[in-house]
Amino acid sequence: MLELRNIKKIFNQNTVNETTVFDNFNLSVKKGDFVSVIGSNGSGKTTMLNIICGSLPIEGGEIIIGDRNLTGQKEYKRYKNIGRVYQNPSLGTCPSMTLLENMSLADNKGKIYGLGRGTDKKRINYYKQLLSRLNLGLEDKLYVKVGLLSGGQRQAVALLMSTMTPIDFLILDEHTAALDPKTAEVIMQLTRELVIEKKITAIMVTHNLKYAVEYGNRLIMMCDGKAIIDKSGKEKEEISVDDILDTFNKISIEKGN
C-alpha cells in the first residue's frame, strides 16, 4: 500500500547546520494496517509524514502509494487519496466558515469546485447524522462558525472531514496531543471506528504510549531516522507500555540525556 524506498532527507544541506534525518530509510505499510509511530522529539516521525505528503522535498528515494508513484509530485495532488489530521485543531477546519460550510467543502473533495451551490441542501441530513455520532451536540450547531467551537469539537470535525470522501490513506499527526484526556479518548475511539468502518490504511504519530499500544495493529518506534522497534500482529498485542518505556530510557542514557 505505502512504500517508502531508500528515503534520504537532509536539512540545511551544504551548510554548517547540515542534519541528516533519513539515510536509506525504508518502510512498507500493508493495506488496512493501522500503524502507530512513536519516538522522541527529533527522531523523524513528523518529518516522515511531511515527506509522504510532500510538505518537504527529499534528497533521494521513492514514495509509492498503491500504484501511484508520488515522488516529486506536488503536495496538493498527493492529497487526492490522502486525508490528514493535524496536531493543531485549527488546521483541519476553516474558522470563519460555518460548520455546515466546512462539511460541504470536505464533502466535495475530489470533485470540481465550480459554480454550483456550495452546500447541497439534500446532504444536510446526512451531515447531521455524521455529526450526531460524535455525541458532542454538533448536529445542532450547523450554522455556527467553526472558530467558535472548542478544540476538541474542531478536531472531531476535522477527523470527520478528512474521512468523508473515499481516501486510501489517513495520516494522523499527533492529533490528540492538544486535547484534554477525556476528549482525546473520544477522538481516539472515533478514529478507530472510522478506520475500521471505511477500511482505511492509517499512520498515527503519537507521544501517548498508551494509545500507541492500545490502538492499531502495528507499532513502530523511531530513533535517529530508523525504526528501532517494529512489531505487528501478535507481537504488537503482547507489547506493553513498560516495554516501550524501557527502550525509551535506554536510548536516553545512550544519548546522555
Partner 1 sequence: MAITLSILEQGLIYAVLALGVYITYKILDFPDLTVDSSFPLGAAVSAILITKGLNAYLCLIVSFLAGAAAGLTTGIIHVKFKVRDLLSGIITMTMLYSINLHIAGKANLPIFNSENIFSISPLKDYLGGFNTLFIIFLVVLAAKLVLDWYLKTKSGYLLRAVGDNPTLVTSLSKDNGTVKIIGLVIANALVSLSGAVMCQQQRFFEISMGTGAIVIGLASVIIGINLFKTASFLKPTTAVILGSVVYKACVAIAISFGLSATDMKLITGALFLAVLILGNLGKGKKSNA
Site residues, partner 1 (CB under 8 A) = 74-80, 83-84, 86, 90-97, 101, 104-106, 108-110, 112-119, 162
- As measured in angstroms, the least distance from the Cβ of 90 to partner 1 is 7
CB of 84 or CB of 218, closer to partner 1: 84
Please tell me the distance from the alpha carbon of residue 221 to that of residue 33, in angstroms, as a whole number: 16
Q: How many CB atoms lie within 10 A of CB 43?
A: 21
CB of 84 or CB of 141, closer to partner 1: 84
Please tell me the distance from the alpha carbon of residue 92 to that of residue 158, in angstroms, as a whole number: 5
| Cell of residue 96, nine digits | 470563519
- As measured in angstroms, the least distance from the Cβ of 115 to partner 1 is 5
- As measured in angstroms, the least distance from the Cβ of 73 to partner 1 is 11
- As measured in angstroms, the least distance from the Cβ of 109 to partner 1 is 5
CB of 109 or CB of 192, closer to partner 1: 109
- Is 21 in contact with 47 (CB distance < 8 Å)? yes
- Is 20 in contact with 187 (CB distance < 8 Å)? no
Query: Three-state SS for 33?
Result: coil
CB of 111 or CB of 182, closer to partner 1: 111
Beta strands 82-85 and 169-173, pairing class: parallel
CB of 36 or CB of 119, closer to partner 1: 119
Q: How many CB atoms lie within 10 A of CB 203?
A: 25
- As measured in angstroms, the least distance from the Cβ of 242 to partner 1 is 37
